């Protein structure tokens, strides 16, 4: 029996999960400012949805799918990414209809699954935060989305990042470039990796994305796709670069960047972390335009643009850049009970405090008073309320503010009826001169 978690997965434990909440919450707030709404789709999809969108010859579909036949003999797969499922949902729910806002903007967060070789920053179950926007071909939308991703990292306190962009144009561009690439690669066919030999005629763009040592020196001198852009593709890409400059967003162009998914058209981009210690997996965000995908999955000709960021890699970057993640779960009140007979009343007090919207905690381990005070201190309680058997008899409770050392006895009634006033009174610091 193996009682260990599956290879390439993580348990996200308390202490760590607060950081996840911070990263997710920051995204929710920022994406909300840009008028994105949350969408949640199933964790698994019909195999075809992913294969059609991401592409049969990509590593994701040909090597990394967690696919299986369910008990009804349907070929399904855990989702390896969020875009294909969302496009499927967009078409199925007719979100292109006139009653919906355009562009239709959604964000998502959740686990994705790829059977990859695990290493630092690369997992088999990993998590993405992503967005998709449907319905506009306007290059300003490309830039707004890239700017939002940069804004997000800036808000988190991540500084050592680099924006890399490219265009892979439209259908016409890719047809012309495909031929140029085949013409360039064919003389090297014998030297290419096995994967690349196979892809040379199936999908030569994938050869550019190869991580194989054999392919890399060959790919370096491949022709640039930017020299093959059709007129409309050139116009779009120029508008994107001009707008980025106008908004003073720094970027680099990498004409060899193609990304690992087949659905892209026109603008594609990646945000790379240059923090030392990121290792090989330094791409923290990737995305681009996918103008043919909605149609490919049976919908109308609606353009799309989106990105996804790896949460594990964001957390690694925060760590590498020594960004302090703010603690979010602080404790307003700790209630110390002394003597067995106070057990029930102490529970009533913490419940009452929580009822007023404050956080409260108490001891359940029959600890002595001293140890309870220590717990209060350790948990960073702002107020410590102490109830002994004598106080219980008198219907009173002692309240102490830990920062100012102010202490006062209140009636239990006051705590039950108006804890907010007790809290305010005790937390108002009297500055004595």
- Identify which of residues 112 and 185 has a Cβ nearer to ligand HAM in the complex: 112
Rounded to a whole number of angstroms, the minimum distance from the CB of residue 426 to ligand HAM is 46
Does 81 carry a binding-site annotation? yes
Rounded to a whole number of angstroms, the minimum distance from the CB of residue 46 to ligand HAM is 17
- Identify which of residues 108 and 373 has a Cβ nearer to ligand HAM in the complex: 108
Rounded to a whole number of angstroms, the minimum distance from the CB of residue 287 to ligand HAM is 4
Does 259 carry a binding-site annotation? yes
Rounded to a whole number of angstroms, the minimum distance from the CB of residue 292 to ligand HAM is 13
Structure tokens at 292: 């043919």
- Identify which of residues 10 and 224 has a Cβ nearer to ligand HAM in the complex: 10
Q: If you search the block for the tokens 């491949």, which residue do you land on? A: 222
Rounded to a whole number of angstroms, the minimum distance from the CB of residue 194 to ligand HAM is 22
Rounded to a whole number of angstroms, the minimum distance from the CB of residue 133 to ligand HAM is 9
CA distance 334 to 346: 10
| Whether the bond into 103 is cis, omega within 30 of 0 | yes
- Identify which of residues 168 and 285 has a Cβ nearer to ligand HAM in the complex: 285
Does 425 carry a binding-site annotation? no
> CA quadruple 143, 144, 146, 150: dihedral positive or negative?
positive
Rounded to a whole number of angstroms, the minimum distance from the CB of residue 15 to ligand HAM is 21
Does 114 carry a binding-site annotation? yes
- Identify which of residues 67 and 332 has a Cβ nearer to ligand HAM in the complex: 67
- Identify which of residues 130 and 204 has a Cβ nearer to ligand HAM in the complex: 130
CA distance 26 to 229: 37
* CA geometry: angle 48, 49, 50, nearest 5 deg: 90
Rounded to a whole number of angstroms, the minimum distance from the CB of residue 179 to ligand HAM is 26
Does 132 carry a binding-site annotation? yes
Rounded to a whole number of angstroms, the minimum distance from the CB of residue 86 to ligand HAM is 8
Rg (the chain; Cα; Å): 28
- Identify which of residues 52 and 313 has a Cβ nearer to ligand HAM in the complex: 313
- Identify which of residues 307 and 419 has a Cβ nearer to ligand HAM in the complex: 307
Rounded to a whole number of angstroms, the minimum distance from the CB of residue 312 to ligand HAM is 5
Does 263 carry a binding-site annotation? yes
Does 128 carry a binding-site annotation? yes
HEC sequence for the chain? CCCCCCCCCCCCCCCCHHHHHHHHHHHHHHHHHCCCEECCCCCEEEHHHHHHHHCCCCHHHHHCCCEEECCCCCEEEECCCCHHHHHHHHHHCCCCCCCCCCCEEEEEEEEEECCCCCECCECCEEEEEEEEEECCCCHHHHHHHHHHHHHHHHHHCCCCEEEEEEECCCHHHHHHHHHHHHHHHHHHHHHCCHHHHHHHHHCCHHHHCCCCCCCHHHHCCCCCHHHHCCHHHHHHHHHHHHHHHHCCCCCEECCCCCCCCCCCEEEEEEEEECCCCCCCCCEEEEEEECCCHHHHCCCCCCCEEEEEEEHHHHHHHHHHCCCCCCCCCCCCEEEEEECHHHHHHHHHHHHHHHHCCCCEEECCCCCCHHHHHHHHHHCCCCEEEEEEHHHHHHCEEEEEECCCCCEEEEEHHHHHHHHHHHHHHHHCCCCCC
Structure tokens at 331: 């404790």
- Identify which of residues 115 and 358 has a Cβ nearer to ligand HAM in the complex: 115
Residues 397, 415 contacting (CB under 8 angstroms): yes
Phi, psi values for residue 361, rounded to 5°: -145, 165
- Identify which of residues 312 and 391 has a Cβ nearer to ligand HAM in the complex: 312
Does 264 carry a binding-site annotation? yes
Binding site for ligand HAM (CB under 6 A): 81-83, 114, 116, 121-123, 126, 128, 130, 132, 260-261, 283-288, 306-310, 312-313
- Annotated binding site for L-histidine: which residue ranges? 81-83, 114, 128, 132, 259, 263-264
- Annotated binding site: which residue ranges? 81-83, 114, 128, 132, 259, 263-264
């Amino acid at each position: 029996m193996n009682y260990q978690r599956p290879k390439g997965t993580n348990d996200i434990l308390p202490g760590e999960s607060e950081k996840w909440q911070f990263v997710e919450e920051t995204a929710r707030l920022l994406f909300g400012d840009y008028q994105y709404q949350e969408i949640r789709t199933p964790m698994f999809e019909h195999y075809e949805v992913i294969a059609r969108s991401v592409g049969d010859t990509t590593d994701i579909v040909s090597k990394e799918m967690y696919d299986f036949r369910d008990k009804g003999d349907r070929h399904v797969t855990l989702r390896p990414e969020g875009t294909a499922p969302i496009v499927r949902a967009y078409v199925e729910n007719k979100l292109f209809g006139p009653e919906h806002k355009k562009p239709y903007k959604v964000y998502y967060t959740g686990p994705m699954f790829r059977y990859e070789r695990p290493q630092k920053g690369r997992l088999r179950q990993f998590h993405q935060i992503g967005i998709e926007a449907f319905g506009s071909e306007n290059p300003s939308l490309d830039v707004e989305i890239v700017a939002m991703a940069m804004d997000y990292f800036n808000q988190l306190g991540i500084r050592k990042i680099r924006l890399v962009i490219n265009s892979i144009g439209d259908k016409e561009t890719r047809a012309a470039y495909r031929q140029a690439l085949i013409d360039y690669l064919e003389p090297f066919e014998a030297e290419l990796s096995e994967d690349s030999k196979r892809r040379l005629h199936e999908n030569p763009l994938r050869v550019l994305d190869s991580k194989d040592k054999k392919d890399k020196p060959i790919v370096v001198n491949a022709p640039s796709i930017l020299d093959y852009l059709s007129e409309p593709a050139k116009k779009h890409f120029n508008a994107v670069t001009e707008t980025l400059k106008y908004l003073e967003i720094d970027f680099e162009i990498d004409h060899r960047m193609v990304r690992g998914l087949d659905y892209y058209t026109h603008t594609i981009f990646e945000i790379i972390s240059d923090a030392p210690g990121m290792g090989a997996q330094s791409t923290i965000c990737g995305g681009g335009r996918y103008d043919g995908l909605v149609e490919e999955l049976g919908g109308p000709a609606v353009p799309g643009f989106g990105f996804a960021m790896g949460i594990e890699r964001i957390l690694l970057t925060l760590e590498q850049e020594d960004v302090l993640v703010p603690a979010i779960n602080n404790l307003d009140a700790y209630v110390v009970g002394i003597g067995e007979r106070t057990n029930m009343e102490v529970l009533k007090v913490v419940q009452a405090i929580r009822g007023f919207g404050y956080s409260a905690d108490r001891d359940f381990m029959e600890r002595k008073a001293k140890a309870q005070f220590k717990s209060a201190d350790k948990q960073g309680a702002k107020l410590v309320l102490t109830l002994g058997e004598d106080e219980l008899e008198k219907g009173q409770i002692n309240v102490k503010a830990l920062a100012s050392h102010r202490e006062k006895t209140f009636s239990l009634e006051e705590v039950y009826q108006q804890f907010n006033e007790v809290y305010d009174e005790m937390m108002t610091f009297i500055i004595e001169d």
